[in-house]
Amino acid sequence: MRKIKFILLGLVGSLLLLTSCEKDLDVTNPNQPSPDTYWQQEEHAIKTLTSAYAYTQAPGMWTGTWTVFPAEIFKTEFPMMTPWKSSNRVFEFTDDPSNSASSGLWDFIYTGNYFANQVLKYTDQIEDISDERKKEIKAEARFVRAYNNYRLAIYFEKAPVINKVIEKKENFFQEKNSNAEIWEQVEKDLQYGIDNLPESNVNEGRADKYAARALLGKAHMQQLEWSKAKNQFNKIINSGNFGLVDDYASLFTGLNEDTKEHIFAIKFTHKDAGGTSENHAWPLMLHSKDANGWECHWVSKWFANWMAENDTMSNGLISKRVWGTIRYDSTINSYTKPHPPYDTLANGDLEQRPLTEEELSTKSFQMKYALSTDDADPMSGESDIIILRYADILLSQAESILMSGNGTKDEAIDLINQVRDRSNTVNMPYSLSKEEVLEKLRHHDRMAELALERHRWPDLRRWSKAEGGDSYSAQHSYIKNVFEEHNHPNVDNFKVRNLVYPIPRSEITSNKNMEQHELWK
């Protein structure tokens, strides 16, 4: 397959910024491209589409690692302290409208949508490609926009929906849309994707029909539309196109990508392309000082010990997904097999052993995405960041069955155990009640399988609404109780307003029509 990486092209960026000027300016520079002169070939649409994809990657080694990453990961009980002030403010629940982590996420979302809207506006004027191909290109742009708005709806809740190129100054100042209006746009864009994207995209890292279907199912889940979600997940499961890879840990190393488990992933590589470095800094940031890293955060002791004690094989030793998620040995700085603690036998064979008291009592570190595959550059990573994978779909379908009542408890357990089997985790017993199955799915299986993959906060928000209804106070109480049970060190700082990120101060001060979210007033 031909791999297209997400490269920001300076020419495209410069060109597209021109469209933010008013069309009725009297003077046009004949030496600069314009929308009328640029959009002549399919290549021009693809370059701009690539720029839209690039903002899902979060371009730039440092901004990508420490803007999008903390904004989507640190708002949970899994990581621990970090020396980066902006990230710590997310973890400590002392965020405010000027924090670069949450405001950076806002900026990446809207910049990505800006490029997507360019594709949607100008692709139709290209004459040398078919109408079918135009629809396919536009469907990819709408998928990117839907993914961005999906995060906007979850993290900011209420924000402007900008679904066209803004060309007049008087239209720059957009008001907030409701949460329901954001979700409505997400659904429209993803349905267009389902209708017009290919079954499988020959360009790795690009969206296809199943990526749109998976994200639409998850969008329905966030709105508690369980039967609609179940319908989308059914079509993915019944397609026969997806499955679980045998080696759980390999999914997050850069050595096993574009597998049958991948549905959509953000691409990275050690290779520079077009003069742009497209690796990420997670190995450097997440290595311990013992492994010559910066030790910018580590896994909370509660979570490391919970995983070791609760997600086990039948022999009582930690499961494959535990050692694929957490490094209990702080000296590891490269991808080596086997991951789990092991003893070397007299015949040279390796045998897994229990974790030691020292390993359980000292700092533990994130394994996912943190180990380099390049011995020459062990502090930079090229592992693709998985956004949608099949294990998540199976667990999401189990939740949809339990919450919709459309299906049996045993059907949900079958799906959960399918995921557990891959990691040799002890199966969930069928003797559990429906309520017990749901509790374990929420606070064992989704936690153990998907930890540190940007799913936890959307999960907590969804469950808080399922249990607390429309009341912010009840939603807050649900999440705070979870944090208390999981020994979150900053739980006392967790206030109702921390259910959402504030609209950035720069947006409030520059946009005369923008009002701050009511929880932050």
Give tens-digit pLDDT for 462-498.
999 999 999 999 999 999 999 999 999 999 999 999 9
For the stretch 225-265, pLDDT in tens is 999 999 999 999 999 999 999 999 999 988 888 899 999 99
Which tokens belong to 432? 């559990």
**Overall pTM > 0.95:** no
Which tokens belong to 453? 């993959």
For residue 320, what pLDDT is reported? 92
Give 440's pLDDT tier (boundaries 50, 70, 90).
very high
For residue 467, what pLDDT is reported? 95
For residue 298, what pLDDT is reported? 85
* CATH 1.20.1430.10 corresponds to the domain 2-254: no
For residue 333, what pLDDT is reported? 64
Q: Is the pLDDT of residue 292 over 60?
A: yes
Phi, psi (5° rounding) for residue 365? Answer: -130, 160
State how far the Cα of 493 lies from the Cα of 485, in Å rounded to an integer. Answer: 15
State how far the Cα of 481 lies from the Cα of 491, in Å rounded to an integer. Answer: 9
Q: Which residues pair with 273 in a beta bridge?
A: 276
The helix (H) or strand (E) run that includes residue 118 is helix 100-122
State the average pLDDT for the chain.
Answer: 87
> For the chain, which residues make up each domain, given as ranges?
2-254, 282-383
Could you tell me what percent of the chain has a pLDDT over 90?
Answer: 60
For the stretch 82-111, pLDDT in tens is 667 888 888 899 999 999 889 989 999 999
Ranges of beta strands (E only) in 328-431 are 342-344, 350-352, 365-366, 385-389
For residue 287, what pLDDT is reported? 79
Q: Phi-psi bin for 279: left (phi > 0), alpha (psi -120 to 50), beta?
A: beta
State how far the Cα of 108 lies from the Cα of 122, in Å rounded to an integer. Answer: 22
According to DSSP, the β-strands at 350-352 and 203-204 are unpaired
For the stretch 33-81, pLDDT in tens is 667 678 888 999 999 999 999 888 775 545 555 666 677 888 888 877 6
Residue that is written with structure tokens 């936690």 in the block: 447
Q: Is the pLDDT of residue 32 over 80?
A: no
Alpha helices by DSSP H, listed for 223-281, are 226-237
| C-beta neighbour count of 346 within 10 angstroms | 5
Question: Packing angle between helix 131-155 and helix 456-468, nearest 10 degrees?
Answer: 70
Q: Alpha carbon of 261 to those of 239, 384, 514: distances in Å? A: 13, 13, 41
Q: Alpha carbon of 357 to those of 8, 303, 317, 364, 367: distances in Å? A: 48, 16, 14, 12, 20
What's at 422, amino acid-wise? Answer: R
State how far the Cα of 345 lies from the Cα of 136, in Å rounded to an integer. Answer: 56
State how far the Cα of 157 lies from the Cα of 447, in Å rounded to an integer. Answer: 23
According to DSSP, the β-strands at 2-3 and 365-366 are unpaired
Among candidate residues 297, 367, 359, the one with its CA nearest the CA of residue 325: 367
State how far the Cα of 97 lies from the Cα of 114, in Å rounded to an integer. Answer: 22
